[in-house]
Amino acid sequence: MDYRIVEDLSEMKLDDIVRLLRMTYWADKRPVEKIEKSIKNSKCYGLYVSGVENLVGFARIISDYATNYYLCDVIIDEEYRHKGLGNALVSHIVSAPELEGFRGILVTKDAQTLYSKYGFEVVNDRAMFKAAN
C-alpha cells in the first residue's frame, strides 16, 4: 500500500484529525478547541494513502527537544488498520533525527506489542518508556 507521511500541519485538515480522534477511547469526547490547541503546540504527523483524499493516520509528539518526547494520539483510520500503516507511522517518528538520543514516553492500554517493536518497555500496565539511545 502506497502512503506518504507529512509533518507540515498545513498539509493536514483539522476536520480529518478530529474525525480520527473520535475513533479513539482516549479522545473521542475531546472538544475541538482542545484538539486544535493541542496540535498547534505539538509536532504532528499525518499519514495519507495513495488515492485517498482524507488523512488516514495521525500522531503527535510533545517534546523539550533536549531530553524527552511524549508520543500521543497515534491513530489509524479503522478502515486502514492491520495493513502496516501504524508500524510505518511509529517507525517514522521514533527514527526522526531530531529525536535521536531522547527518552520516549507514551501511555497505552492496548498497543504495547506495537510499541515494544521500537524499543518501548512497559513500566506499569499502561506507561511505556524508551531509553535514550
Question: In this predicted model, what pLDDT tens digit does every residue of 28-67 receive, in sequence order?
Answer: 999 999 999 999 999 999 999 999 999 999 999 999 999 9
Per-position DSSP letters for 54-102, written without gaps between them:
S--EEEEEEE-SSSEEEEEEEEE-GGGTTSSHHHHHHHHHHT-GGGTTP
The string of pLDDT tens digits covering residues 65-81 is: 999 999 999 999 999 99
The residue ranges of every structural domain in the chain are 3-130
128 pairs with which residues across the strands?
106, 122
Q: Encode pLDDT of 100-124 as tens digits.
A: 999 999 999 889 989 999 999 998 8
| pTM of the complete model | 0.92
The CATH T-level fold of domain 3-130 is Aminopeptidase (3.40.630)
